[in-house]
Structure 1
Amino acid sequence: MNKALLVIDTQDSFYHTPYWSERDLADFQHNLTQLIAAFRCNQHKVVKILHSRDDMPDSPFNPASGLVQPMAFLDTSFDKTFYKSVHNAFTDTGLAMWLKRNNIDCVTITGIRTEQCCETTTRVASDLGFQVEFVTDATLTFDMQHQPSGQRFSADEIKVRTELVLAERFATICKPQDFVA
């Protein structure tokens, strides 16, 4: 099976958002670095996806901010880079065509934010006919507060919910160690 690891939105922009938290960052970095090494060892593609919004001048996701670049711990070369302006990595990016041209039939999802761009990309990938592996421990998200109820959800609770809605419908839920020989 030909696979590609999608590293979604793991970019400096997030350091400049009001919800940024480093609480789970070390584990995320370790898990993602381990996965990249495993994919490289098995000669699978590693794809960088960056979120870029030209239409938001004061946003850290605007390329003019200088922040739309991979986080420094991603000390690796990527096989391909795609820029997206919506929540999924497929719309208007050419990603699906590139995957098909490279005979890739399975995508492995990692990156930032678990419930947003990672989950949305998973759903679209599944709808496009790709086999999808979702590595929750190689995704990162942040605590959220539901408005208007005020109820708070921890990053861990959000990840559990994401697994609940994706498992066996859109993706196989995996652990980083599933990829390490």
Structure 2
Amino acid sequence: MARSALLNIDTQCSFFQRDFWEDSNFADFSRNMNTLISGCSERQIPVVDIFHVDESGPFSIASGFVTPMPFLTHKPTTTFHKHVHNAFTDTGLDNWLRRQNIDHVIICGMRTEQCCETTARVASDLGYQVTFVSEATLTFAMTWQGVTLDSDALHHRTETVLTGRFATISTVAECLAGLTMQE
């Protein structure tokens, strides 16, 4: 039986300071994330908060914005700071998960197609079973070469490239239904 941990990636106040911030999907995201965190906590699944930290700007510790978004009220089992897109490089997360005998990670958080997707790919490459709870991730429209992908298109793109290769795509309800109580 798999032993699980929930990775809450970059759900931090730093994002409120970005010029691309928009509230359009935020209410659904925060509700879904709180349901996922509560469900994992009830099953005694560790919740790991991961914050992105830069040397300057709104993602620096000195900015005061590297804090959980106000809707989050849980007490994480542990917290890691990262400096790159994935949550594993130079953070100690892999060692911590292995010491806890965890072989299954559940991914939620900010920037679906960046930090969440990259963490899922690295986790899979490291041998973890990965569940990607897309409805508990949030992202924003992006434009390149005159083509804009809205957040729904980015979610779909991420699910398409992860499923069957790096992760199982899941709703909050599906994820929680598949989990059992951990000790």
TM-score when normalising by structure 2: 0.94
In structure 2, the partner of 1:162 is 158
CA contact (8 A) 1:111 1:138 kept: yes
Map of 1:37-56 to 2, 5 A cutoff? 37-54=38-55
Inter-partner Cα distance in structure 1 for 2:147 and 2:123? 31
1:180 & 1:17 partners in 2: Cα distance?
Answer: 32
Query: 1:108-147, aligned counterparts within 5 Å?
Result: 108-146=106-144
Residue 180 of structure 1, CA deviation: 3.8
CA distance in 1, matches of 2:29, 2:66: 19
Gaps of 5+ in 2: 178-183
How far apart, in 2, do the equivalents of 1:151 and 1:120 lie? 22
Percent of aligned positions with the same letter in both sequences? 52
Distance 1:48 1:138 in 2: 14
User: Does structure 1 residue 60 correspond to structure 2 residue 33?
Assistant: no
The answer to whether the Cα contact below 8 Å between 2:134 and 2:170 also exists between their aligned partners in 1 is: yes
Following superposition, the deviation at residue 179 of structure 1 comes to: 3.3
Q: Is the 8 A contact 2:107 2:131 kept in 1?
A: yes
Measured in 1, the distance between the counterparts of 2:143 and 2:24 equals 17
TM-score for the superposition, normalised by structure 1: 0.95
Q: Does 1:89 align with 2:87?
A: yes
2:131, 2:175 within 8 Å by CA — same for their partners in 1?
Answer: no
